[in-house]
Amino acid sequence: MIICTSCQSGLEPAAVTSHLLNVHKLKDICLTQDSIDKVCEEFKIPASLPSIQGPLPEIEGLVVLTTALQCKICRTVRGSLSSIKKHYSQNHPGNALETIDVTAQRLSQQPPHNAYFPVIPTNKQLLTLPIDLNLLRTECDMAYVSFISVDVDKRTISPWLLTTGWHTHIAGYDIQKLRKLVEMPQPQEALLSKLEKGTTAVMQRGVELMKDTPLLVLQKLNSPDPIKEWVVLSVCSSLN
């Protein structure tokens, strides 16, 4: 199933481009239906949204409603007290209002997929990694001070270059031409200007998603990089 991470709604493959254009006004993103269909075929994504009754484990990406109410008679789920009261008056007239507090989700805000279904909530505590920002800043400052205190030969290849290997990738190419390739687009280069906007939008969305990054990924990012450690050690050894 395709889920829009901005509005946290499920989308049918045929509705993706119109959703991005009409709902989020993303006119500069070039996305064809053919490319969407190929992705759906590769990942076996059905052409229509599924019909879900629940309960089932919480679907990551969809909005979670922790204050939903479930009818004790027919197990219908509603998002508010007024809505469940209306359900009782229409479907169970004469019966006393009896509800169960549940956590629920729905595939979309638009019919016919706007019905809530009960879910088993994920333990959000497992998806967060406590970070002491003050301690992190202190450690970064200490690392910076210890680094600049070393008398580094400017002719020595930096740890960053050794890690990325850019000096070997561009060896033999005209440096001036390479610089021209990474310059900001000129006004007459319309396609590159669109690419710039799209890249910026992707980067901004990536920053926004950091707060929802799973624990395993955060642990990986927060773990020491053995390659970088080796590079720093090798440079320090050469300086000594």
Q: Where are the domains of the chain?
A: 2-42, 56-122, 133-239
Average pLDDT over residues 124-147: 65
Average pLDDT over residues 223-237: 50
Average pLDDT over residues 101-107: 94
d(C-alpha 146, C-alpha 155), whole Å: 20
pLDDT in tens, 162-202: 777 787 888 888 888 888 887 777 777 767 767 777 788 88
Predicted local distance difference test score (pLDDT) of residue 11: 92
pLDDT in tens, 216-226: 777 777 776 55
pLDDT in tens, 10-50: 999 999 989 888 888 887 777 888 989 999 999 899 999 98
Q: Quick one: pLDDT band at residue 126, thresholds 50, 70, 90?
A: very low
Q: Which residue has the higher pLDDT, 152 or 126?
A: 152
